[in-house]
Structure 1
Amino acid sequence: MNGMFGIWGHPKAAEITYYGLHAMQHRGQDGAGMVVSNGERLKLHKDVGLVNDVFKRVNFPDFEGHAAIGHIRNATQDDGVFENVQPLVFRSLKGSTAIAHNGKIMNAEKIRSSLESGGSIFQTTSDTEVLAHLMKKNNGDTTTEEAIIAALGELVGAYAFIILTEDKMFVALDPHGIRPLSLGRLGDAYVVASETCAFNIVGATFEREILPGEMLTISDEGVKSTRFSLREPRKLCAMEYVYFSRPDSDLNLVNVHSARKRMGIELAKEHPVPNADVVTGVPDSSISAAIGYAEQCGLPYEMGVLKNRYINRTFIQPSQELREQGVKMKLSPVKGVVEGKSVVMIDDSIVRGTTVRRIVRLLKEAGAKEVHVRISSPRIENPCYYGIDMSTRKELIAANYSNDEIKNIIEADSVEFLSIEGTERAIVKDKTINQGVCAACFTGNYPIIENDHRKEFYRKYRVD
């Protein structure tokens, strides 16, 4: 889970990129960076930390240029280092190339080993760097459409790339479209972002989604579209709708808030709570579903839990210890709302159980008579191999325990999950425009099946 932003053809490209990254801060808090092109050279600024912290001392007029790409990063436990903060920049005698990436290259280790055997020297542990070495191998020191397409053809995984040179910007999405990426316009400039909420912030208008297996070449001549692979059925990550994206973003022509609200409605139909007094949601990503649940059941929706806005998101913290501490600091119950009442607490998902257990305790300590947990997504029983930090079954509570056992572990009076069918009904509104989702973490049906690579990845990451 990372965020990317790119702009071509605007005199204030650096400032606009800053605001675009700020709009997507929720996608990662571990690092941020920006590369600006003035047509002759690429200038980089990056560091670990939040967008505001990374750029607070930057004098944007010093980053003069008409094009820029930016990246915000969510690090995993073993790679939270400065070198891995993106964009990555590669310089040669014939020009420079900057790369921003969101996703996971499943066969990166195998490619890296082969490249190192051939003499390549890697500067980071990021799988993003693999693309740069493949491009160089395919076309020397020059970044061209042909070199990028040849390199993408060797990758297996879920990926969205923005690549910047002195005279062009290239945008590519994997053949299944698992990661989100959209194209917009800001006057005469072209804008690319992981989420459309970034367009809203900078005043850009949405043009269209980047299509699965599509590469765009953006330059002063306009936009050229090239299909670099056979286009598979769209499989946009379901967790984008459930948790990751901002409610005001539209993903694959579906508004995130509306999808979450429909998830709450479907959840209420499937798992009502008799004699409940009030519905509350865990801020922020569960509020939309809680509103839908309350409306469907005819119950009042109340702010039973308040959030400290200055604490990072807990699910994407890289260690269990940090997640525990983050939950304690982040959320507070509203005693006057929940005291003496049977509370339906809506949460968007249960991954490890850390957050939901602590919230149940907080509500009961505040005097709630009962706390019934309703989850507006299915049970997460399978690891994600496409870039989300949950790569083993061992760490997934639903992969190891039944609903009754989970209820006891999180100290709730009951717990129920939305069905897979209900989730799909809530998200997929128009099957004629290829609005399919990747639900592999719920179902175990992985859309990317490349037998050798998949077996290799299973051996490394899966713990049964």
Structure 2
Amino acid sequence: DMELHEACGVFGVLAKEPCVKIAEVIYHGLIGLQHRGQESAGMIISDGTTMKEIKGMGLVSHIMTDEMMDRLSGGKLGIGHTRYSTQGASDLANCQPISTETFRGRIALAHNGQLINKDHLRNQLLSQDIKLTTESDSEIILKILAAIMLKYSNYDPESADWMKVIEEFMNQSVLSYSFIMMTRDRLYGVRDPYGNRPLCIGRFHAEGDTTRTMGWILSSESSPFLSISAKLWREVQPGEIVCLHLSDNGDENLISHPNQNCTNKLASCLFEYVYFSRSDTILENQMVYSVRFRCGQLLAIKAPVYNADLVSCIPNSSTPAALGYSIQSTIPYVQVLIRNTYVGRTFIQPNHQTRQSSIKRKFGLLTENILGKKIILIDDSIVRGNTIIPLIQALKSAGAKEIHIRVASPPVRHPCFMGIDIPTQDELIANKVASLTQLAKKLDADSVEYLSYQDLLLAVQNDMYFTDCFIIKGIGDNSHRRGYCSACFTGEYPVSLDW
């Protein structure tokens, strides 16, 4: 339905070779994560001594011009961020990465997710007279890390290190985040104990020489790796802290620090598979495209439409499901909608009015493919209905005989408090009707069917397997800890929400 909002994309790079242009690598990394947020973007780089930054509102390519990038020449490591605001206003003050001074020097942070106990943590900081200058919960993480380091440095300065500081923060807040923290010479990749938000490690190499490591990457997704000659190394495990740093002789080190208190059942976000992640991203050792394709196949088996002329979709994230439906049903796949890629994803717009105006500019109609046809239209999800209703109207105005909606995920009935903009149950169209027949009438469609939650899990888990690179020392075999957050479908949240 293209109406969900996901918090952000984070990207970090540490170079082994001096020829690596850190700012350029981060730029291309953020371009590869642009689908996760188009409201603002920024980067901070370090030469091992000082930090430099650029931030702004809008798309990565609009902010990081040649003139701005020239300011960030040099550098040995850096982090970048592309944002949609689930917490904090849509303004420059809340752009990331953010930074602050600490007892052990300046640190910078790029964060994806939403803290479920942010109000408690905010009050904890304010009670210590620690000033907060933004509404973002990312600043809360930054200031808590600084406060914990100060506490350790006062009581036991010799043993004070950022690994311990981060682990203490993780014990205070278990959901929902993945973040990259940068000191002057180190990157720390952190994923919450439930694994709710994704984070992975990549290794990039010299052109034409895959044996020569040029540096290491931390990223929300593996989707940007191809553009920078990088390969997926592995995912950061739930509750794991990964440290990348340069030794004195310039060799890179990758240190894994499992959180020994991490015994929670996993709660990875299912909407990474349904919508958020780019189709070429690898999650849990499988391609997101393949999961979406299997969703379409299952949908064709469970919710067939007889005598239809064609299968189509609302591009782009629902395209794999439409192809799966087409192949399984033997009904040809034909495009009826063309997406204007330069408008931007409507779900990443910060308010309803902006989303609505974007929808009208976002799609074109292939009228010759529509006239007189009985169409099966696949969508990845229907949340509020703001996108699909005007599109059905447009298709019928173009002469479609029938339109049957098939949704490659279950009905969204509950709000999310972990980084997705589903604020109230009243906004969700599945809660406004008593039956699928009523929903079809409301959408002006001939029929509507959803993929069941059980079939979504089947599609996600079908090809999943674990290899040695997913077994982290200190955590052991994680296969028994697989699990997903289904809160928006079932109302079952990973933790109790006392507030």
Partner of 1:242 in structure 2? Answer: 274
- Match for 2:54 among 30, 45, 50? 45
Distance 2:82 2:161 in 1: 24
| Conserved? CA contact 2:44–2:108, under 8 Å | yes
One of 11, 14, 24 as aligned partner of 1:5: 11
Structure 1 residue 310: Cα displacement: 1.1
**Which of these residues, 241, 246, 256, is aligned with residue 225 of structure 1?**
256
- What is the CA–CA distance in structure 2 between the aligned matches of 1:212 and 1:252, rounded to whole Å? 12
Given residue 411 of structure 1, which amino acid in structure 2 is its aligned partner?
D
Instruction: Sort the Cα spacing of 1:99 and 1:374 in 2 relative to 1 into closer, same or farther, 3 A.
Output: same
Aligned to 1:289: 321
Q: Report how many residues are paired.
A: 452
The aligned amino acid for 1:192 is L
Instruction: Determine the structure 1 residue equivalent to 2:492.
Output: 445
Structure 1 counterpart of 2:227, from 197, 201, 207: 201
In structure 2, the residue matched to 1:299 is 331
- In 2, the alpha carbon distance for the partners of 1:300 and 1:437 equals 33
**Secondary structure in 2 matching 1:455:** coil
Residue 164 of structure 1: which of 165, 169, 182 is its match?
Answer: 182
Residue 32 in structure 1 maps to residue 32 in structure 2:
no
TM-score by length of 2: 0.88
* In structure 1, C-alpha distance between the alignment counterparts of 2:362 and 2:411, rounded to whole Å: 24
What is the aligned partner in structure 1 of residue 449 from structure 2?
416
Residue matched to 1:462? none
Q: Cα distance, 1:361 vs. partner?
A: 0.8
Give the CA RMSD over aligned residues: 1.6
Structure 1 residue 134: Cα displacement: 1.4
In structure 1, distance between residues paired with 2:465 and 2:311: 35
Cα distance, 1:298 vs structure 2:
0.6
**Which segments of structure 1 move beyond 6 Å, counting only runs of 4 or more?**
none
Shift of the 92–136 alpha-carbon distance from structure 1 to 2, 3 Å rule, reads closer
Change in CA separation of 1:92 and 1:437 when aligned onto 2, cut-off 3 Å:
closer
The Cα offsets for residues 239-287 of structure 1, whole Å up to 9 and x where unpaired, read as 1111111111111112011111100000000100011111101110111
Paired residues of 1:428 and 1:436 also in contact (CA < 8 A): no
1:181 aligns with 2:228: no
1:361 is matched with 393
Moved more, 58-67 or 219-228: 58-67
User: Larger deviation: 337-346 or 226-235?
Assistant: 226-235
**What stretches of structure 1 of length at least 5 have no aligned partner?**
457-464
Unaligned runs of 5+ in 2: 1-5, 154-159, 205-212, 248-252, 467-478
2:343 is the alignment partner of 1:311: yes
Question: 1:264-275 maps to which residues of 2 (within 5 A)?
Answer: 264-275=296-307
- Which residue is equivalent to 2:115? 105
C-alpha change, 1:60 and 1:251, in structure 2 (3 Å) is: farther
**1:122 matched residue in structure 2:** 132
8 Å contact from structure 1 (residues 42, 165) kept in 2: no
Moved more, 54-63 or 299-308: 54-63
Cα drift, residue 199 of structure 1:
1.2
Tell me the equivalent position of 2:210.
Answer: none
Give aligned-pair identity as a percent: 37
Q: SS of the counterpart of 1:197?
A: coil
Q: Which residue type is aligned with residue 460 of structure 2? A: I
Aligned-partner residue type, residue 404 of structure 1: T
The one of 284, 289, 299 equivalent to 1:257 is 289
Q: Does 1:154 align with 2:160?
A: no
Q: Displacement of 1:62 after TM fit? A: 3.6
Q: CA deviation at 1:70?
A: 0.4
Mean Cα deviation higher: 230-239 or 417-426 = 230-239
Looking at structure 1, the residues matched to 214 and 43 of structure 2 have their Cα atoms a distance apart, in angstroms, of 21
Higher mean C-alpha deviation, range 222-231 or range 278-287: 222-231
1:290-439 to structure 2, matched below 5 A, reads: 290-401=322-433, 402-430=435-463, 433=466, 434=479, 435-439=482-486
> Distance in 2 between the 1:268 and 1:430 partners?
19
Give the partner amino acid of 1:391.
Answer: P
DSSP-derived class of the 2:458 partner: helix
CA contact (8 A) 2:313 2:379 kept: yes
* Contact map agreement 1:193 1:199 (CA 8 A) in 2: no
Quick one: distance in 2 between partners of 1:334 and 1:395?
Answer: 31
Residues 149/37 of structure 1: CA separation in 2 closer, same or farther (3 Å cut): same
Bigger drift between 425-434 and 155-164 goes to: 425-434
Q: Please point out which of 140, 146, 149 is paired with 1:136.
A: 146
Amino acid at match of 2:53: L
1:207-240 CA-partner distances (Å, limit 9, x unpaired): 1110000001111240111122314333221111
Please tell me whether the aligned partners of residues 29 and 72 of structure 1 are also in contact (alpha carbons under 8 angstroms): yes
Out of 267-276 and 55-64, give the one that drifted further: 55-64
In structure 2, the partner of 1:459 is none
The 8 Å contact of residues 135 and 143 in structure 1, kept in 2 or not, is answered as no
Letter of the 2:169 partner, please give it: A
**Residues of 1 paired with 2:71 and 2:110: CA distance?**
23
